[in-house]
Amino acid sequence: MSGLRVDLPHPARMYDYYLGGRDSFPADRNAAARVVALFPQVRSTARANRRFLGRAVRFAARQGIRQFLDIGTGIPTADNTHQVAQTVAADARVVYVDNDPMVLSHARALLRGNAEGRTAFVDADFREPAEILRSPQVTEVLDFSLPVALMVVSLLHFVPAEDRPEQVLRQLKDALAPGSALILSHATDAFTPPEIAAHVLRTYTGAGTSLTPRSHREVLRFFDGLDLVEPGLVPVHRWRTEDAEDLGLTSEEVAGYAGVALKPGPGIAT
């Protein structure tokens, strides 16, 4: 796999480790194990985040959205975006975007839509929104004159302020038609003891991975120009909770915020 760096930890492969997957290398496992030792709840965080993805995708599909742009998809696991969306609408179309060769290799092998829907994969970086929007895979599968669910789930905390995540996200939001959705989750240190949060941050940065936990106010700014749906921006496990496991969690155990917002326009109810 061209461009694959096995000597450096990668957030997608660390996330796979937290979920109990096996698609990682020693550098990923070593870094992730240090995080687990400091903050054992990270496994609950990852699982709760995955369940939020499923709830949010089902919500969007039930609003009539049939197109999904999933940026920073990570290594395929159970209940991927197209699998969830196509249980609601068989004709749902999904484009996955990631810039890790291992993720893309697995995606091409495993992420197959049904006969009615379509899936595609783009090797691109969130920080290059124009490249994503003009890629042939995106333009062939998604019609931006119709609503699209833009997904940045557990992604933006890996984008530091100097990389202008708000401006990048704004370019992507500007491309969306009215009635489109933004599905977002983001790590926070608001519920974590400061000494533990500092140790986790040092573990990531020491492994060469940027990590920027943000406050509720900072995460809320990513939704500027959109209408948050109920219950707003809340701890991940509290967004339209359906699962008994989520009901038993605390905010300290999930250490993240999640929300879904719609782009103003007629025909889409919240």
- pLDDT for position 34: 83
Give the pair of three-digit tokens for residue 59.
Answer: 């919500």
Instruction: Give the 3-state secondary structure of residue 193.
Output: coil
Do 66 and 81 contact (CB within 8 A), yes or no?
no
> How sure is the predictor about 2, in pLDDT bands with cuts at 50, 70 and 90?
very low
Give the pair of three-digit tokens for residue 189.
Answer: 């240190």
- pLDDT for position 76: 60
Instruction: Give the 3-state secondary structure of residue 53.
Output: helix
Per-residue pLDDT tens digits for 112-133? 555 556 888 898 999 999 999 9
- pLDDT for position 109: 58
* pLDDT above 90 for 99: no
Give the pair of three-digit tokens for residue 18.
Answer: 């937290």
- pLDDT for position 200: 87
Give the pair of three-digit tokens for residue 31.
Answer: 């870094």
Q: How far apart are CA 73 and CA 119, in angstroms?
A: 13
Amino acid at site 104 = L
Per-residue pLDDT tens digits for 155-174? 999 999 999 999 999 999 99
